[in-house]
Structures are given as structure tokens and as C-alpha cells.
Structure 1
């Protein structure tokens, strides 16, 4: 199997699994307990907190553990909205955010908040001037993702953070796809809240974190025993947190080497696919994208058929976000780039991992060319594409002849 769907989830590294095992067995204590078994669990949680904080250049006490990116997004956006609603009820985000952000904003609209959904340019990147124009006196929150989960484009969060700081507006970043893959510095980018998910960086599922800058106050959404600084009550998922911390430590230590390796494989993969497949196109910005993301679209095919046939060849990819894969509607992210439904339905997202190699590129690109070719042979849309191309060529030839 060649796995290229790391944006959906990544495999748990062996070192991460090994770090977790003791806390599933003999070190099973509750971190809130005062006896030695509890103190041991508490120490393990705090060590993990240090590792996660180090990965994003935060202070240890600014990290709150959650169940994952979705909860972190909800906690950040709802927490700020309800805490600051007396100051204002206007929120700014973009049309290509993860559903965890978009659905949360839609919910807040039912509670009297106003949300401005900013468009993106054809390359998937926010226009800073649009952001500046959208800011109002009652704007209390700007939420912009660092890197998109479908097309991998990286947003100018340092510019956004500078504007938010200047205007005194809280700035939240969904960094689920970027943390552990590219440098993330919450201080440099003036970020107030940042969401992270463990299973996107070779840690276990069911655990994540929310960075909350010191001095930022949010409304508590989960009440109970007061764990996680009274912001997220409930007994901590110690094995998951330990695994998350280990994954963060590994990511920090190998960040530069992984970026270099993944960019080389990604660029080769993009070049091979675009070279071998007629009418293949890259989605998103060519340069400002995650080092592991290659998002394509192919004329006159259906992405679902492409995925299934690649799966039969032992290659795992995706048509878009795994979080909304049950929805057969055209990707709202690709629609935001100005693409038509017919173009969008022929999409393929390949997201590389450190286990991938240069050798995988030849196998995958050949398989894509073979599958796309066979699907087009059965597609009436491809016949139309060819006929339109022929008509266009004849028209040009006639003009020259006259």
C-alpha cells in the first residue's frame, strides 16, 4: 500500500505508540489524584504540554488539551464570542475554512452574531485588502486557517495577526494542517488562539490542543471538575496526551529535514502527474502551499471513481476533505477558487507523509495516468472535450488559411 492521505490522518509513529503503552497499563493513574500513581500521570501530562508548547513557540501554561481540532475550534470561537458579546457581535472568517469553523460560525449567527465570510483569490489565498475593509468597530474575532486541508495553500497569517493586533481584535488560527509540517510561531504571528490536532502529526486520534495566549479570556464551555485551568473539565486522556506530546517532540526535532524531503517528493509528483496526464491541473497556489500537499483536478472524470480504482491498485488518496467526504456536493473550497462543478468533481488530493519516497512517485503517477485514461474512455464528457478541442483547432487553422 502507498498511503498518500495524511491530511485526513497520519499513522501513529512507533515511538509515539511505545510512549503511550505504559499509561494504558501500569501507569493508569488519574492526574488529579495526590498519590504517586496520580502524580506520575500528572507529570507525564505536563511534559507533553511542554513539548506541544515548544513546537509553536508558546508558554507551557498557554496550552489546553482537548479532544482534537474540532473541539479546539469550537472552544476558541464560541468562547471568545460569548465572552466578548457585550463589546461586539461581529466575526470575520473565510469561505474556505474547515467545517469546524464554518459550522460554528453559522451556529453563532443563530444567536445574534454577524459573520463576514471573506472570499479568496483564484490561488486560494486571502486578499488582505478584503480583510481590512471587512473590519468594523464591533468586530471581536478574526478566524483564519493557516493552511487549507484540501488544497494546502498557506495564508499570510503574520499579516493578518499584525492587523488584528493593531485593531485590538482577537485572532484565532486553525493550524490543524500546518503544525508539525511547517514552522508555526504564535508570538511572531501575534496569534491569540490556535487549534492543533494530534493525529495530523503522527500522534493518536482523539486528542488535540488549544493555545490561549496569556491574558486572553474565553467563556468556559465544558463545566465540571475544573481540569485544564477550569476551561475544559473532565479527566485527562493521559495516554493520548502522552502520545501527542511525543509526536510534537519528534516533529520539532525533525521539522527542517521533513520539509526538505516532502517538498522534493511533492514537486516531483506534481511534475510527473501534470506531464503524464493530459488536461490535468494543480489546485491552489504553486509556491505558497504545504510541503506535503498536491491537489489536482482532471477534466471529464469523477473523483470518486478515480479514488476507488487507485485504491484497487494499493494507493490511498482523497477527493477532498475526509471530514466532509459523505457529502457528495461539489467541494466548497474548490468552488471558492472559481471552478465549475464539472471541474471540481474530477479532483484528487494527495497528501504525503514522511514514509513516502521518491520511488512512490513513479508508481503513483503511472497509476493515475492509467486510471484517468481508462475512465475517460468511458466518459461522454471526454468525447465532448475532444470534439470542442478539434473544433477550436479547425477554427484557428481556417483563420490562418484565409
Structure 2
């Protein structure tokens, strides 16, 4: 990118997506197009308009989800998917460029990956471009960063599963340009303890639910998570409190306290096994599962996955975190995670992405797909 060492941009809340920009410039433009979960419509509109200009793509829309497909008559179809939403902005929009780094909300998770997708779609869909070695499906979906029930890829899978048919998939989630297999499952549970209300001046007449929640926190502090190898990749589990609530008023002994826990589990467990484990850890307490999404096994022994993995000099590693490779796997599309962003920077105020790795990811995928 021809940028000064440090450059600031204006936001682009109702503009267009210019597919002639290179992948790094396009990343910056997408960051300047705010799309916090639930507010993705302007960006989805712009992506749809840009893709409909490409003569060799069929473009479909469902809600704020856009799916574009080639129809070259190839024997294999590759699905490339990415979410267009971000976590809430933390004074990190508009984007800025400093040397090799682009800073801003979503640079890592995952507008750099979406920019690469759009560049590949532009290459595949242009009339004068060479046809890909595979047929391609590009999926841009909403609401990945919030509860599973609102996930746009899930909505498309239920309403139009035929749009997502494929032999292999690449989810361009942040992996720092390293191949990552599978993903952890995620489960949230509400662990509740009851008490008895009383006036705080006569506390002995009641039972303080917040005090009675101490054993829940003790069990979490003493918990030792597993490390388990699945198909050659090492997954680490985690069980943590992510919220606590209780209290009625400043002069009332509370009669309920709830601790919300998040269990990140390895892909050798099913969702039900994960739920059973959480209930066992908190035996004696009221445990209610409030959200759950399955893990995905690496699946790197699949032929297309193995061919893709062979292109990397660095061995694949396990994906820490939940991604939609699990949803694609459930649809019969074995998939991997591969994107330019650094997963350790996702959701941070200082989020940024490497321009070098953005271009590296685009080049790797374009060569594999036969778009260069």
C-alpha cells in the first residue's frame, strides 16, 4: 500500500466496496465500514452490489448474508466463508496504517480475511479472468460474534442448504497465516444458588445467596482443565466464570446468585458430553445450559484437506476458539481455518493485521485455486 507511515481514514458507513483495491487497502476500507453484530446491513448491501457486477458469479441474499457461486462445471467445489460482523468498536475506527500494520476494529477478526475473500471472488467472477481449477462458493454472513442462535451461516444452512454444498471449505478466520484444524466447542451455563431474602439490618433472618455461591467459585479455582490430542493436534480445554449476578437492593439480603460459566471443550467431546461434564463439576447446584455449539475434529486426513495442508511449511495446529468449521462440517463440508489475522489480537482495543500476511494469504489461496 502506498501509505504514509501513519495514516488515518474516514469511516464509510453507507458507501461502496471497491474490489479493485488490493487486499490490504480493501481491509482498511472494510474496517472503515462499521458492522457491529446486528448492524451489518449496509456492509452486506455493499458486498452484494459489488459481487453482482461480476458476470461469472451467481449471487443470492438471505437476510444480511450474501452467497456468490461460480458454475464452471468443475468436479470439486470449494467453499470460502467469513463473517462480516465485529465486536463493538472500542475507539478503534477509523483504521490507521503504521508500517506493515493496519489497526482498527475487525482488522484481525476478520475483515482482513473478508478482504481476501472479496479479492478472490473478484478474480473468479471477472469475465476476462482464467477459470478456477474448482467451482467456488463465497459466503459472507452476519452475527458470528454473538449467540449461536443468531449466526447468519446457521440461518443460511437451515433455509438454503443447497447454497452451501461443497467438497471442502476454508474459513478465513484469523490464524496468523498458519493452517489451523478443527475448533473447540463452546458451552455457556448458568449455575444458580438460592437464598432467602431479609432486611440487611436483620440478616440472621435470611440466607445470603451471594455468600452461598462461594463454593461455585472455589470449584472453578481448583479446576484443572484437560489437554488432549485429537488427530495429532493438541487441544486445551478451559472452564471459567464469565459473569456473576445477584443482589436486590442496598438493604436486602439477596435470595439468588447466578454465575455464568463458559466451557471450551476439545473435539473428542460431543455437546451432550460437555454438558454432562459441567453438570458433574457443579453437582449440587442448579445448572442450566444457556448456549452451546459443537466442536469440530481437524479432518486433515480428508483428500482435499491433505492436499491443501501440503502447501504449508509449518505444521498445522489446533484452533483455540469456536469457529464455523463446526457448522460446515455438520453440513458435510470438511473445512479448515486459514486467514491473515492474528487470533491473539481478536477483540482487543489494539487490534491490527499484517499487510504482508494479508497479501501472503491471498497469494496462497489464489495459487491453490488456480486463480493466478
Q: TM-score, normalised by structure 1?
A: 0.23
Answer 1 or 2: which has greater helix percent: 1
Q: TM-score, normalised by structure 2?
A: 0.24
